[in-house]
Every structure is written in C-alpha cells, then in structure tokens.
Structure 1
Amino acid sequence: MFPLNAVLFPGVSVPLHVFEDRYRALVHHLLRVDDPTERVFGSVGIREGYEVGDHGAQSLYRVGCKVLLTEVEAQADGSFDVVAVGLDRIELERLDTSGPFPVGHVVDRPEVPSPVGEPVLEAARATFSAYRAALAGIRADPYSGSLPRDPSYLSWTLAAVAPLPMPERQSLLEAEDAGERLILVTDLLRSELRAMNVIPSLPATEVARTRWSPN
C-alpha cells in the first residue's frame, strides 16, 4: 500500500519517485512477481500528515485505488522512478505496518454502472472547455487531445485534470457513478471559474504536481 498526498483515479497514469526504504521494499516485492499484469498495489490519500517519515501519515482516507506498476527505472542510489496506472476503486479496512512495507486489507468498491444523460455530458465538456480557455496565457493547458466519449472515462479524466484541493478530488473518487461524478466536477470547475474571474491572474487553487512521491 502506498499512502499519498494525492488522489489517484482509475485509468489515469501517474509517475512516482520512490526513495524511502519501505516503499523501495514494496517495489522489489512487486518486481519479483513474474506476471507483469499482477504487479498491483493499492493507494489511498493521506487525510492528515505527510508521506515521509515513520509518523508521517496520521489519518488516511478509506476509499482509494488499485494500481498497476507499468514502468520501473532503478537509480544508482537505490531509489526508483516508476509509472503506475489506476485500475479499480478499493476501500481500506485496516493498514498493517508491521512488515517491511505497508500492507492494506481492502475490499473492492466497484462503480455502479448507470446511464448518463446527454445534458450532463454536454455541460461537463462545455465547462471544461471554458476552463481551458480561461487558462490560456496563464499556464499550460491541463489536457491535450480530445476528451473521451465514454461517460465513465470522461468522468475520471476530468476528475484527474481538474486543479482542485485534495478533499474535493477525494469526493470525486468516492462518487458512486459517472453521472454523479460529472455533475460534481462540473460544479467544482464552475466555482473555479468564478474565483478566476475575481482573481484573474491565477487559478484559485494551484495543486497540480508534475511528479508525485509516495514517500
């Protein structure tokens, strides 16, 4: 289990720099798994505390994500630069830290499939397009290419790229279905746009990080 000061989403890739002993031990453990498709770990967000140190994470969110290790680059100092991609949601029941790396006891938390109305999809796409336009000339475009057509993929994509504080990102992860998530992310982006109209020089919340460390 990798507790992070970040929220990971299904279908979204994330780079991580792994340098702390317990997480290096977990990477070594995963690399001993013969089938690369089985090199899976879990991640939950840190509600209170820090990624680094024996007493860093004081409180964890319960809903997180199952993650697949896809790329590993070992460094001379024993650390790793890795890339992982989110799979499915999980719920953490308890965390065992007695071994060489944290072990989470989890249950699956699958998303409830449900139809999403076209007005919800159109509102989400239009609001994100307006947000991208408002950012032009201020900072880099948060997303490149065309948005996914599938409602579930669209909801996870917008959740991942929206520049929101961690509690709001966690609420997007915990939304029960794609429709609920799209309505929520649309409302959050509209609030962000209203804040930018008051303070136009920067987005109201600057939380995007180009590289995350699970330490």
Structure 2
Amino acid sequence: MNVISTIIAGISLVWTIFNSVNQSKSSKKILEYKKEVDKSNVTLKNIELKYEKAQNVISEMATKCMVLPYLNLDINKSRIYLMGETANIEGKEYPQFFIKLKFKNVGTATAANINLMPLKKEPNLNEYIDTEYSSNFHVVYQFMEPNSLFVNDTASCIITIDFDKYSKDVSRKRSTKYNNSISFKVRYTDITGRKYYQAYTLVYDVEIHNGKISNKYPLTQNYTVYPPKEIKD
C-alpha cells in the first residue's frame, strides 16, 4: 500500500507540475496574443485615421475642382497692333505699339477679382510684366476688363512697349523689329473666396515697316499657360 500510495503521489506531483508548466505557457501565449491584438488595434486605428484624413483631402480637392476657374490665354484672339500717334524725339508722329491679350475662363466656375499680379508689393505700371531683354520693357496700358468671368466668358488686358524706346527706334530707321519673351501672372478668386494665380509666358516677333506691322503672325504659338496655384495668406 505504501508503495502504491507513493507511486500515486508521485504521479499526482508530476501531473501537477505538468499542468503548472502548461498553464504558465498558456498564460504567456495569452499575454503575447493580447499584445499582438493591442498592436493590431493601434495599427488599425492609425490606418483608419489616415484613411479619414485622405478622404478629407480628396473631398477638399473635389470641392476645389468643382469651383475652380482656369484662365486660358487665347493666343488666336490676342493680337499686336499699332494705334494713334506718338511723337518721337524729332517731333515726328508714329503709331503706338500695343499687345492685347485675351483670356477665356475654361474652368468649372466663375472667376472674380481678376487682375494682373504685380512683381512687387507697390508696383509702378511697368512692374507687372517681366521680359527676357531688360532694355525692352513693357507698361500696362489697360488692366483686366471685365474683372469677373463666368465659364466660357473672356477678358482682356493691354500692354504697350516703352514709348521712349519705341519712338527712338522708329525715328532712326524706316523698318524695325521687336522680338521678346514676356512673362506675367494673373490672380483671381473662386466663388468660395479662395485666391489663385496663374503664370504665363509668350513670345512675340514683330516687324514694323513705314509705321505698319509687316509680318503676318507677330504673336507666335510659342506660349505657355501654367495651371492655377492657390495663394495662401
């Protein structure tokens, strides 16, 4: 009996130890599993937050696109012309040199408060247009008219070459050439009040003979219209 009791007690001890070891392993596994679950929950929460943020960005972009004007430079309806008379240094009269630029709103909504964007905070009339050749600068003759455009409506502005330089050139010779690359920006607001600007560059090549433009296409097809950029206050 003592031997049997001892054997039973031994078996019970081994079983108890075995159970304790298994329970300890199970507890560790449960803790590890819980940590993994917690980690997964944090990751899932981060994914949800990123998704929500992305949805908000997409929604904002969609809203902007729905009310975004786009002022395209209509080069085929823009033109260079001579008009009136300007006295040169010798007292003779010569026509005045103008570039009339046409813009069409091809965006999805109305553009308001349209105008040329100055190169400086307190500009003069000759500080709206940047030129490739500094010796041949341009002056704003007429700002944007009208200054609000519905979709498919058009507006225009007029710039002119520096009067003194023009009159001196034409006084020296009967024929003269003007070619330049000019760049400028136009700013406006959409119907929600967001402010935008667009940049433009274009090249012109003008031949003037006896006070008249002699070449057929003084405004070349070499021009670039850049997409709207939002102005952050």
Give the TM-score category using the shorter length.
under 0.3
Q: Calculate the TM-score normalised by the size of structure 1.
A: 0.20
Q: Calculate the TM-score normalised by the size of structure 2.
A: 0.19
- The structure in which a higher percent of residues are strand is 2
